[in-house]
């Protein structure tokens, strides 16, 4: 099986590098459901699977990770129930499954997954040849990152149907999993546990959250140029200074342009870390002191302000809004491609009312982070 996987993965690399693209993309539309196939059960398992009692739990699988990508080998299986949907566009090319011990991000490189995998459906996953990795601490199961990947992405998408069919087997459909209500103490315990925290990847509800009047957003003035941490000339942060006028859950392309043109971001600074170049409204690549190939990469915009460059290259962007339960911070991260990206936060939230939020809880650089899997009208209840 490994030889087949390697050959297919190599073919995928020749066809496309999209498996390494971690940007959000739209997944709207209502395609016809896939043709019905055999649905397995615990007593009717895929060929080669051990008895269900010999499956690893998701917790046991996570325990195999030792701070670096691990290619799983052997007859290793897990099973879990689907808890996420990409119907609203806030989740892209991945689904979350969970068992009684925890959840995990399964990186299936397809859109409109909701038409193939229903909420509450059981999946049996054959892990041999897949890579167990992390993205900023979040457990993921996918393919090995290829030679062009950075350390930021330890896994890539399983984006060939032939490979998906070798590893992911559909089980019986059931009722959607009810979210578990979790406390601040449980969240802190999972943060302390890090990668193996039992809340990560699970569908949960946190009650009594209060808005922190702070956001985090990272924009790339020219998304076609390198924008890793080593490229501060192509990074603009909105963080640690209120909400920057953002009162929507995220920034669609049109919303992004509107915010830029309004002037509320004019004092946002180009750069990151210790390297700062100046505000986007007045700084140009040339006035920033960029030289050589770095300056040339902005051609023909060397003497154009970053604000104008950002408008020219506008795209949808994610935004994280900060909430707190007690003293513990929880981000709510929303894609600019989500159907509800331009929906405004309820005025009661902004004025201090507490909220109960339901979604997939993940870890991001040591902090708890929510991904809403439904519209805010469903996932965010104002008290």
User: What DSSP string describes 24-83?
Assistant: -----S-PPPPPP---BBTTBPPTT---GGGSPPHHHHHHT--SS-EE--SS-EEEEEE-
φ/ψ of 78, rounded to 5, equals -130, 165
**pTM for the model:** 0.88
CA 195 vs CA 37, 182, 219, 268, 306: distances in Å: 35, 18, 27, 33, 37
pLDDT at 153: 84
Longest dimension (CA), the chain: 68
Beta strands 355-364; 202-219: pairing state:
antiparallel
**Is the Cβ–Cβ distance between 283 and 302 less than 8 Å?**
no
Please name the residues in contact with 337: beta carbons below 8 A apart, sequence gap of 6 or more.
24, 25, 26, 27, 89, 90, 92, 252, 316
pLDDT at 151: 59
pLDDT at 27: 53
Q: Tokens 């994610």 sit at which residue?
A: 318
Q: Which of 121, 93, 120 is nearest to 107 (CA)?
A: 93
- Other beta carbons within 10 angstroms of residue 261's beta carbon come to 11
CA distance 315 to 200: 29
pLDDT at 356: 98
φ/ψ of 18, rounded to 5, equals -65, -15
Q: Which of 216, 214, 251, 219 is nearest to 232 (CA)?
A: 219
Please name the residues in contact with 45: beta carbons below 8 A apart, sequence gap of 6 or more.
51, 52, 124
Beta strands 328-334; 236-238: pairing state:
unpaired
Instruction: Report residue 338 CA to chain centroid gap.
Output: 12
129 preceded by a cis bond (ω within 30 of 0): no
Three-state DSSP class for residue 308: helix
Angle at 237 between CA 232 and CA 238, to 5 degrees: 170
pLDDT at 346: 97
**Is the Cβ–Cβ distance between 14 and 7 less than 8 Å?**
no
**Is the Cβ–Cβ distance between 1 and 128 less than 8 Å?**
yes
Q: Is 95 exposed, middle or buried, given 0-12, 13-18 or 19+ CB atoms closer than 10 A?
A: buried
How many CA atoms lie less than 13 Å away from 259 in the CB half-sphere? 27
CA 211 vs CA 3, 320, 322, 323: distances in Å: 51, 12, 6, 4
The domain limits of the chain are 2-170, 178-383
Q: Which of 246, 269, 272 is nearest to 259 (CA)?
A: 246
How many CA atoms lie less than 13 Å away from 104 in the CB half-sphere? 31
pLDDT tens, residue order, the chain (383 aa): 443 444 444 444 443 333 334 444 555 555 545 556 899 999 999 999 999 999 999 999 999 999 999 999 999 999 999 999 999 999 999 999 999 999 999 999 999 999 999 999 999 999 999 999 999 999 999 999 876 555 578 999 998 999 999 999 999 999 999 999 999 999 999 999 999 999 999 999 999 999 999 999 999 999 999 988 899 999 999 987 799 999 999 999 999 999 999 999 999 999 999 999 999 999 999 999 999 999 999 999 999 999 999 999 999 999 999 999 999 999 999 999 999 999 999 999 999 999 999 999 999 999 999 999 999 999 999 99
pLDDT at 25: 54
- What is the CATH topology of the domain spanning 2-170? OB fold (Dihydrolipoamide Acetyltransferase, E2P) (2.40.50)
């Amino acid at each position: 099986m490994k030889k087949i996987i390697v050959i297919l993965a190599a073919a995928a690399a020749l066809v496309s590098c999209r498996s390494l693209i971690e940007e959000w993309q739209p997944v709207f539309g209502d395609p016809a459901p896939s043709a019905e196939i055999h649905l397995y059960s615990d007593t009717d398992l895929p060929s080669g699977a051990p008895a269900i009692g010999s499956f690893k739990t998701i917790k046991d699988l996570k325990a195999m990770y030792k701070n670096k990508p691990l290619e799983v080998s052997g007859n290793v299986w897990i099973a879990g129930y689907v808890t996420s949907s990409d119907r609203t566009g806030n989740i892209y090319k991945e689904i979350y499954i969970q068992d009684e011990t925890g959840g995990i991000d399964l990186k299936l490189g397809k859109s409109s997954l909701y038409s193939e995998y229903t909420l509450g459906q059981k999946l049996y996953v054959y892990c041999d040849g897949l890579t167990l990795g992390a993205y900023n601490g979040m457990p993921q199961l996918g393919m090995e990152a290829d030679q062009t990947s950075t350390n930021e992405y330890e896994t890539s998408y399983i984006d060939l149907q032939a490979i998906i069919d070798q590893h992911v087997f559909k089980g019986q459909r059931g009722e959607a999993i009810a979210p578990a209500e979790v406390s601040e103490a449980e969240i802190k315990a999972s943060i302390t546990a890090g990668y193996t925290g039992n809340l990560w990847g699970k569908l949960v509800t946190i009650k009594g959250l209060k808005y922190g009047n702070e956001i985090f957003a990272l924009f790339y003035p020219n998304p076609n140029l390198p924008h890793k941490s080593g490229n501060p000339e192509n990074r603009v942060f909105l963080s640690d200074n209120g909400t920057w006028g953002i009162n929507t859950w995220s920034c669609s392309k049109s919303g992004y342009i509107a915010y830029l043109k309004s002037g509320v971001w004019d004092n946002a600074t180009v750069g990151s870390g210790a390297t700062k170049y100046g505000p986007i409204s007045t700084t140009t690549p040339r006035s920033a002191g960029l030289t050589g190939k770095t300056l040339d990469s902005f051609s023909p915009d060397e003497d154009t302000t970053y604000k104008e460059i950002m408008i020219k290259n506008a795209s949808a962007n994610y935004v994280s809004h900060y909430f707190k339960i007690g003293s513990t911070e929880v981000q709510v991260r929303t894609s600019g491609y989500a159907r509800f990206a331009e929906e405004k936060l309820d005025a009661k939230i902004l004025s201090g009312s507490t909220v109960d939020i339901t979604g997939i809880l993940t870890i991001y650089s040591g902090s708890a982070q929510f991904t809403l899997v439904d519209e805010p009208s469903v996932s965010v209840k104002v008290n």
